[in-house]
Amino acid sequence: MNNILITGAASGIGAATARLFHQQGWQVGLLDINHQALAKLAGELGNVWHAALDVTDPAAVKVALADFCALHGGQLRLLFNSAGILQCGHFEDIELAEHARILQINVQGLLNMTHAAFPYLKVTPQAQVINMGSASGLYGVPHLASYSASKFAVRGLSEALDLEWAKHGIRVGDLMPPFVSTPMLNNQRFQAPVLRRLGVNLEAETVAQAAWAQTRSHAVHRPISWQFKLLYWSGQLTPVWLSRRIMAWLSREEFPGHL
C-alpha cells in the first residue's frame, strides 16, 4: 500500500495534495504546526493519521516520522515537503528575524524532514521525495528575496540528492509553480510588482495534480503552468543577462508621475 507524509498539510497546496492522494487510495499522513486546522482536515478525510509539528524542531521531526512509518512496516513511499512561509516586501523593511524565519522553515525544516526520512525511504521500493520549489528558484525575485533564496536552496538540494540517492533507488525532485492562490499568498500586505504583472493564475489543486504526476516521473524539476514553462525552458537557452532584464522589468516599481 502506497503511503505519503505531507508537511504543511493543514491548508493550501498541502491540503489539496492530501485530498487528492487520499482519493487515489494512498495512506496519508498529515503534519502541520496548525493543529486545529490539521485535525479538521484529518476528520474530513476519515480521521487519517496526523500530528502537530514544527518542522524546525529536529527531535520532534524524528518522532513524527517514526510514529507514522511504524504504522507502515517502517516504510515511506513518498515524503512531500510542502511546509513553507513567505513575506513580500522591500528587503530592508522586513525584520532580520523574519528573513531568518523564512530560511529556517523553508530550508532547515526541509533538511530536517528529508534527513530523518532517509532510513524509511531507503527500505521502500520506488521511494521518492517531492520538495515544494517555486518559479522564484529560477532567477532571484525582487521583493521576495529571502523566499527566492530559500527556493534556490530547495532546487539545489533536489538536484544533488536525486543524483546522490539514486544508488538507494530514491528519486528526488521539486515542483516549480509561479504564484498560487493560497492563504500564504493571499494574506500578504505588500503586493510585489511581479505578482501584479504575472497575476495569480494557479489554484492549489493544480499543484496537487502536478505532485501526482511527479510520482510517475523521473524528472527532477516540474515547472507548472504554460506561462512559467515558457520562461523555464527559454531560461535554459537564453543568456543570463536577458533573464536579468526580464526579471527587472517584471519587478519594476511604479511611482506617481512616472511612466
Residue 136 lies in a domain: yes
Using DSSP, state whether 202 is helix, strand or coil.
strand
Residue 23 lies in a domain: yes
Residue 36 lies in a domain: yes
Residue 258 lies in a domain: no
Nearest in space to 29 (alpha carbons), one of 56, 47, 55: 47
List the domain range (segments joined by +) for residue 122: 3-250
Does residue 160 surpass a pLDDT of 80?
Answer: yes
Residues in the chain: 259
* Confidence bin at 243 (pLDDT 50/70/90): low
pLDDT at 142: 87
Residue 237 lies in a domain: yes
Q: Is 147 designated active site? A: yes
Least trusted range by pLDDT, from 122-126, 168-172, 255-259: 255-259
Cell of 64: 513524527
Measured distance CA(212)–CA(203) in Å, rounded:
15
User: Considering its fold, how many domains does the chain have in total?
Assistant: 1
Q: CA torsion angle for 224, 83, 248, 190 (degrees, to 10)?
A: 120
Residue 257 lies in a domain: no
Residue 84 lies in a domain: yes
Q: Which residues pair with 176 in a beta bridge?
A: 223
Torsion region of 58: left, alpha or beta (phi above 0 gives left; psi -120 to 50 gives alpha): alpha
How many helices (H) and strands (E) the chain has is answered by 11, 9
**CATH code for the domain in which residue 46 is found:** 3.40.50.720
pLDDT at 140: 84
What are the residue ranges of helices labelled H in the chain?
12-23, 35-44, 58-70, 96-103, 109-122, 145-164, 183-186, 193-198, 204-214, 226-235, 240-250
* % of the chain exceeding 90 in pLDDT: 69
Q: Say if pTM beats, i.e. exceeds, 0.85.
A: yes
Q: Give pLDDT tens digits for 12-57.
A: 999 999 999 999 999 999 999 999 999 999 999 998 999 999 999 9
DSSP β-ladder status, 49-52 and 27-32: parallel
Catalytic choice (120, 139, 147, 232) = 147
